[in-house]
Structure 1
Amino acid sequence: MTRLFCQDNPDILTLDATVVGTRPGAVLLSRHAFYPGGGGQLADKGVIRWAGGEAPVTGFSEQGGALWIEVGGGIEIAGNVQGAVDPAFRQRMRELHTDLHILNALVFRDFDGALVTGVQMNEDGTARIDFDLPDADNDRLRALEPELNDVVAQDLAVQTSYLSMTAAHAEPGLLRSRSVTPPPSPQGLIRIVEIAGLDRQACGGTHLASTGASRPVRILKIENKGRSNRRVRIGLQGL
């Protein structure tokens, strides 16, 4: 799949486009702002609009490197359209994904470079992240909440860049997942997300422009999942 527009422009939620492929219940656009899901982040919600009406986006499917946008009603769309991402949903995913990076950075620092074993963000403003932490003290993990929120309050800049696969694998701490690496672009580049002065890691999702755009975060629960897995559940305050 080619580089996604939303990865470099997460604040732009509406784009005019031309239909370049169509079939019942799905459309291929010349461009779009949607994130199709992946890395524990849910796919964007939104609509496709055209002169005769609009249809909700119900999902995404990839074929031959092209991203098809699935629409409700089994209709066929042609001509000029507009794709619009649900702003509240995108904002929630951006907050959760950025907050998980903050928590990941703190755990990586304080627990001897513990790797991530799974992530899932939810529509209700909660998320969970699993770490390979066989001997962790759960109270130490809970105690990270004040520092997590201090990082949010500092309003640190969040920026993205790209590295070659070789350079990404050569930089210690850049690849934090035990089993998953963000897929490279057709040019063989890995996307890097950096929180100024705190964190730098490979990731393909959408994030905030700065940590201060997130609501405060609560650590809701810590669970032991198996012999070595610790699951930390977080939630955005006010949701």
Structure 2
Amino acid sequence: EVFVPDNFFTIVADMHEEDKVAKKETLDLDVPETELDFYKDIYQKESDGKIIEVIERGETVNIILDRTIFYPEGGGQPSDIGIMSIDGKIYEVTYAEKLNNIVLHHIAIPKDSDKESLFATLKGYIGTEVHMAINWNRRITLARHHTGTHLVIAAARKVLGQHIWQAGAQKGLARSRIDLSHYKRITQEELNEIEKLANEYVMMNIDLDINWLSRDDAEKEYGFTLYQGGVVPGSQIRVVRIPGIDVQACAGTHLDRTGEVGPIKINKTERVQDGVERIDFSAGLAAIDSIQADKEILRESAGIFSVTNEQLPKTCDRFFSEWKAQKNEIAKLQKEIANLKVSTLADNAIEINGLKVLKEIIDGDIKELQKIATDFTDNDKADVVFIGNNDGKIVGAATKDCGVQVNGIIKEAASLLGGGGGGRPNLAQGAGPNADKMPEALDLAIELLNKN
């Protein structure tokens, strides 16, 4: 007989979590748990509550209410922000967090005040009724993205297979991301199908079924799949079910119907690590903004070539092919020019201490200078080469058996140009801003060679 513990699915889900969440900070306060009104009605924009405590934590001043409509950050969803009206004065709520089931509302310190003064003032309001109002655009945007996340995950599982498992998620205002376990890169065709299916779920306008269930009952009903977003704490868990589509234990703010999500646009996908694909998407008005931004990029790009949007791919391909051909032709011509320069320069070599030495100013970039210098020393056209250009670049080269170390010489010559240099004993380079002193720098190199 095999013993199966009551919390079997919780244990299995916990084992599959890749990133263990750090132990949360605790709060040692003798106050009742905060009543979370946003779970009763996520569309509630304003409400009243009573201040039951004011505390300082680090650099912040925090109000604790008996009840709140401010969603505290959690589950990859940022917190609500907004305002509180206390005794006729408006205070800005910049962040909300939950510790030990107590919601802390971070209050912005006014410009004409400081933390200590604000703390003392708010302490005097304990027991006072306050009026709170959330930033509604932020709330509804995050709710669209959170419900949209569940739809994209469900669509990905349908398209890619039942092995798909959420490895992480982060909701945002302009875009959100989901990390999914998958054994290979998601193709563009698969991505298009996921996007299309997620939007079909939106248009089906399905009513969400959201309930609090005991962990045992929830696991018996839905099993392992509950913990797509990770193991949630508590004996009572909030189950968000989109009938026929998806079910998860989730504490985030969700819409009443999928139709309220609005359009879903997948922006991109990337491989964040072996076996994990990240899908970046936008929902609702954020999706419209993303679509319009893409259209503007397309319009501007087509305008540069004076073609229609439809003609842009072929035009880009033609220009790119021509550019590649011209680049190859330029490289070929540069090589021919370099060979001509080398053949001309060979007659300018002089003899110093029994060594064949070339000293020249050449119209070429640093790579061309290096190529010419090494061509001379590698092919026994010269024993030592010192060449520079009109941009303040200088190069030195020497054969390995001539006994000359050019790196020290080039370093001193480059200092005359107001810069520095170095390299290997048989090949070195330098540069400086005083390009007009290149003749003196080359003369110094010859002078140092004579002393060698």
- TM-score with structure 2 length normalisation? 0.49
Q: Deviations over 1:196-236 (max 9, x none)?
A: 33222111000111111122011100101111000000013
Q: CA deviation at 1:62?
A: 3.9
**Per the alignment, do residues 27 and 105 of structure 1 end up closer, same or farther by CA in structure 2, a change over 3 Å counting?**
same
Moved more, 224-233 or 189-198: 189-198
Residue equivalent to 1:30: 66
Structure 2 unaligned segments of length 5 or more: list them. 1-32, 110-114, 290-452
Establish whether residue 116 from structure 1 lines up as the match of residue 152 from structure 2. Answer: no
User: Aligned equivalents of 2:156 and 2:40: distance in 1?
Assistant: 27
* Percent identity over paired residues: 25
CA contact (8 A) 1:36 1:44 kept: yes
CA contact (8 A) 1:19 1:29 kept: yes
Higher RCO (Cα < 8 Å, 6 or more apart): 1
CA contact (8 A) 2:186 2:269 kept: no
| Within-5 A mapping of 1:156-167 | 156-167=206-217
Indicate the structure with greater helix content: 2
Root-mean-square deviation over aligned CA pairs: 1.8
Residue equivalent to 1:54: 90
User: Aligned equivalents of 2:184 and 2:208: distance in 1?
Assistant: 32
**Per the alignment, do residues 196 and 106 of structure 1 end up closer, same or farther by CA in structure 2, a change over 3 Å counting?**
same
Q: CA deviation at 1:64?
A: 4.3
Establish whether residue 39 from structure 1 lines up as the match of residue 91 from structure 2. Answer: no
Residue equivalent to 1:19: 51
Question: Of residues 209, 224, 228 in structure 1, which corresponds to 2:271?
Answer: 224
Residue equivalent to 1:213: 260
User: Aligned equivalents of 1:2 and 1:194: distance in 2?
Assistant: 25
Alignment size in residue pairs? 233
Residue equivalent to 2:39: 7
| Within-5 A mapping of 1:179-198 | 180-184=230-234, 188-198=235-245
Query: Counterpart of 2:176 in structure 1: which amino acid?
Result: A
User: Aligned equivalents of 2:101 and 2:137: distance in 1?
Assistant: 28
User: Aligned equivalents of 1:106 and 1:143: distance in 2?
Assistant: 8
Establish whether residue 174 from structure 1 lines up as the match of residue 226 from structure 2. Answer: yes
Moved more, 134-143 or 222-231: 134-143
| Within-5 A mapping of 1:120-135 | 120-124=170-174, 126-135=175-184
User: Aligned equivalents of 1:7 and 1:32: distance in 2?
Assistant: 10
Query: Counterpart of 1:174 in structure 2: which amino acid?
Result: L
Q: CA deviation at 1:80?
A: 1.5
Name which one, 1 or 2, has greater alpha-carbon Rg. Answer: 2
CA contact (8 A) 2:72 2:98 kept: no
Establish whether residue 100 from structure 1 lines up as the match of residue 113 from structure 2. Answer: no
Q: CA deviation at 1:51?
A: 2.4
User: Aligned equivalents of 1:96 and 1:155: distance in 2?
Assistant: 16
CA contact (8 A) 1:138 1:222 kept: no
**Per the alignment, do residues 47 and 98 of structure 1 end up closer, same or farther by CA in structure 2, a change over 3 Å counting?**
same
CA contact (8 A) 1:169 1:175 kept: no
**Per the alignment, do residues 142 and 11 of structure 1 end up closer, same or farther by CA in structure 2, a change over 3 Å counting?**
same
CA contact (8 A) 1:142 1:222 kept: no
Establish whether residue 150 from structure 1 lines up as the match of residue 186 from structure 2. Answer: no
Q: CA deviation at 1:155?
A: 1.1
Q: CA deviation at 1:116?
A: 0.5
Establish whether residue 201 from structure 1 lines up as the match of residue 253 from structure 2. Answer: no
CA contact (8 A) 1:60 1:67 kept: yes
CA contact (8 A) 1:175 1:181 kept: yes
Q: Deviations over 1:16-61 (max 9, x none)?
A: 1111112352111111101101111110111111223111112234
CA contact (8 A) 2:272 2:278 kept: yes
Moved more, 201-210 or 147-156: 147-156
**Per the alignment, do residues 58 and 167 of structure 1 end up closer, same or farther by CA in structure 2, a change over 3 Å counting?**
same
**Per the alignment, do residues 107 and 215 of structure 1 end up closer, same or farther by CA in structure 2, a change over 3 Å counting?**
same
